[in-house]
A = this chain, B = another copy of it.
Amino acid sequence: MVASLAQVLTGHGANILDADQHRNEPAGQFFQRIRFDFSGLLTDRGTLERALHEVAQRFAMDLQLFYQTDVQRVAIFVSQYDHCLYDLLWRHRSGELRCEIPLIISNRPDLAQVAEHMAIPFVVLPITPETKLEQEAKEIELLEREKIDLIVMARYMQILSPGFVQRFRHRIINIHHSFLPAFAGGRPYHQAAERGVKLIGATAHYATETLDEGPIIEQDVIRTTHKDSINDLIRKGRDVERSVLGRAVRWHLEHRVLVHENRTVVFE
């Protein structure tokens, strides 16, 4: 497979810039990410694409082709917490995140001013158990109108309905806190403080129907001590959440994350 794809690419005049492979033992699935420059193409884009798809078919490969000129469009979902939103917007401004951000959706009005400063449309769609599906329908309409490729739940404090999640399979990134050991139930920082954990962490993952159990993209932790009040834990949690989410979004935008079953291969 490696040889065939490389041959097709070089045969058409494309220049392989980077290639990463991974074989998932013992199951034996094979994953590959190739970044190539086709400015010196001997044929044309259509011919190359057909040739690549022909190889893919021959080996029963799942092939995805992305062009760097096709800038992805990202919608950010938020509620009242601003740390992840701020961080994503700053990373976007700084050029770290190659994307457009034409839409911020929130179930609350709190962060309107942040969006306004960045001149990004901010749509408030409050959600109650009764209005959830109706409001989600409006969200979907907005997302489709804006041709959104990726949804980032930047501490969006609502659970998406299964139908919503399925529609954007592997295109919704969520961030949540993680503890060793894990705590069930509400107020996890309070539980963590009571249990005296020495680390708190965050996990970025693709949203699936099962809350917080989708394929993990990135994780990290930060040390805590007995001196940390609940507020200190929350503060430390913010720092680790925003940096983990930032990396996960960047890797996704650079097509570095391949999903297979419930796990990811991240060609970092």
Residue numbers of A with Cβ under 8 A of B are 2-3, 6-7, 9-10, 16-25, 82-83, 86-87, 90, 93-94, 96, 117, 178-182, 194-199, 201, 203, 212-213, 215-221, 225-227, 229, 235, 238-239, 243, 262-266, 268
Contact = CB atoms under 8 A, between A and B. Distances in A.
A131 to B, nearest CB: 30
A218 B238 CA distance: 19
Contacts of A243: 239, 243
Contacts of A199: 201, 219-221
A25 B226 contact: no
A73 B48 CA distance: 49
B195 A180 contact: no
Interface of A is mostly: mixed
State the oligomeric state as a number of copies. 4
A226 B3 contact: no
A226 to B, nearest CB: 4
Given A2-B6, A24-B226, A181-B203, 15 more contacts: A3-B3, A3-B9, A3-B10, A83-B94, A94-B238, A117-B117, A179-B180, A194-B262, A197-B219, A198-B216, A198-B218, A199-B219, A199-B220, A221-B221, A239-B243
Given A181-B182, A219-B197, A226 B266 contact: yes
B229 A25 contact: yes
Given A203-B180, A264-B196, A90 B94 contact: no
Contacts of A22: 226-227
A26 to B, nearest CB: 9
A212 B7 CA distance: 43
A196 B178 CA distance: 15
B265 A226 contact: yes
